[in-house]
Amino acid sequence: MKEIVFATNNKHKLEEVSAMLDGNIILKSLDDIGCTVDIPETGDTFEENASQKSHYIRQHYQLDCFADDSGLMVEALNNEPGVFSARYSGSRDMEKNIELLLNNLSGNNNRKAAFVTVISLLLGGKEYFFEGRIEGSISTEKMGDKGFGYDPIFIPEGYSKSFAQMDPAEKNNISHRAIAVQKLVKFLQAAQAQ
């Protein structure tokens, strides 16, 4: 059975991705391989950050791995917070990040936003990228208590509820991460079948 490292210790992300894998692939976290370093993310794009993380694992542990970088892009804020989504307020406190974003959008009628995930996979010495994107809008207040990050204020297109109001299975069917991971899983399954 194939083992692959997902360069994260975010339990929510691990659960989301594990739920999408069909059991043919064993997913390991950074904890599982003994990596306790906060891998730097200094890129200007989601691709650069994801690639930086996967290359770090490959360099230091010589393991096949993938890493993702995700963020929220708000049209009226010049696509902020973007790559700075996790530390938009200057801290990793999501309550503060959400509060700042809602304040910055206050009085603005353009609430269009998109969640984007880019995955960098290093497999057999080659790098592959997979992107997932979901369009939506930002609510005027927090709604729901499921999920994580900006989920309470992101309403996906075609829905009247936020990601945080959806049960995990529903969110996993449509989220930006789900779209990127589905592409990754198809690729891994095809690679394994060869």
Q: Kindly list the catalytic residues.
A: 69
Helix (H) or strand (E) holding 115: strand 112-123
Q: Contact at 8 Å (CB) between 60 and 40?
A: no
Q: Give the ranges where 41-175 is alpha helix by DSSP (H).
A: 46-61, 94-105, 168-174
CB 95 within 8 A of CB 103: no
Which residues are CB-contacts of 18 (< 8 A; sequence separation ≥ 6)?
27
- What is the number of alpha carbons within 13 Å of residue 162 lying toward its C-beta? 20
Is residue 40 within 8 Å of residue 116, measured between CB atoms? no
